[in-house]
Amino acid sequence: MKIASTLSLALAAGTLVSAAEQPMFRSLFNGKDLTGWVGDGYTVENDTIVCTPEGKNLVTQEVFCNYVLEFDFKLPPGGNNGLGIHYPGTGDGAYTGMELQILDNTDPQYKDIKDYQYHGSLYTMAPAKRTGLKPVGEWNHERVTVLDSSVTVVLNGETILEANLAELSATHPKHEGVKRRAGQIGWLGHGDRVAFRNIEIAETAPLPKPDSSVATGFTSLFNGKNLDGWKHGNSAEWTVVNGILKHSGKARTPSDLWTDKEYGDCTIFFDWRWSGRGPTRSRPNVLPDGSENGQSDIEELDSGIYLRGSSKSQVNLWNWTVGSGEIYGYRTDPSMPPAVCAGATPKSKADRPVGEWNHTSITLKGDRISVTLNGAPVIENAQLPNIPARGAIGLQHHGSRIDFANIAIKAD
């Protein structure tokens, strides 16, 4: 690991680190094999990832949103590759996601390329400065910063690209990838022997929303540094990085987190996002009244928030067609009145695309609950009969990679 060069990167992304605790990088490549990556046509040689003549896409299993990515690369004469960002897992990475060019544009074969094809450019959309590359065969160092709509590329200490994705989306409305704000990271090869090493990333949490600030009477349930204040049967898969509480997605039992304290009536705010892909599975279509009609194939992603120590009163976070916010234990309980089942069913699917941060608020008073997701009220004053009066708050692990941040509570 290494320390980020500037604190401003952390502050811009809203992490909880202080000046004495600047954001930490972690490796995306272990130097030995391609653990954590998926794709074909790449090999590991002498602590480097090398694209072979069969090399096309090699992408991370994890999904990323806001981050600083640093890596070294070495080009052969005429070498051509690309850094894919916000890749959704399917399709041409330069269009379903975005591609930052990695290219020996000094080679004569590229004398007539377009301005957006030079090294560091955002392919088809934003040209980079034509400077900074070291001679062919030498190692280059590149830093790519992705913060919301901003993408910056620094090559060997020189800034060569500053792009605004929101502006580019307006000028390139047919480009699907520029609309995305999260996805997998990858190398987009063309069969040239381009090499990569020292691949490290520092993820950053979203800024806390004003509605959950200390100024409005909220206190933090997660300090952004460790698991103080939480009980856990097995914390091996929970880690804290730059103000983000991460679960690896590996199956361990038990692996849920529970607050040390118990709470009754309260309002909870938190940010969360899926940090990995899920398998395709068939899941029920949920109707507005809480009943089910047929099934659809979805990407299985599943977690939730337990309230008052009860797994029945769980606010689901998942990728079902009904969307997050459902209180599954009540919607599916056949002993409950129809009005309770309908009330426990989200009014709309307000989830953002996989990998992006979502903001959720939960208000629980007596046996009544309301849930807002990304500003949309998805559960409104629903009744939860026989819910316990008090209990711990839990973060569920259900086999999916998930991140949490900015968890705050106001208890009555």
CB 97, CB 87: distance < 8 Å = yes
Q: Which residues of the chain register pLDDT less than 70?
A: 1-21, 212-215, 233-235, 251-254
pLDDT at 207: 87
pLDDT at 3: 33
pLDDT at 23: 77
pLDDT at 258: 95
- What is the domain partition of the chain in residue ranges? 7-203, 210-411
Residue showing tokens 């959950």: 212
The fold for domain 210-411 equals: Jelly Rolls (2.60.120)
The fold for domain 7-203 equals: Jelly Rolls (2.60.120)
pLDDT at 255: 81
pLDDT in tens, 56-87: 999 999 999 999 999 999 999 999 999 999 99
- Distance (Å, whole) CA 402 – CA 355: 9
Domains 7-203 and 210-411 share a fold: yes
pLDDT at 21: 56
pTM above 0.85, yes or no: yes
pLDDT at 397: 86
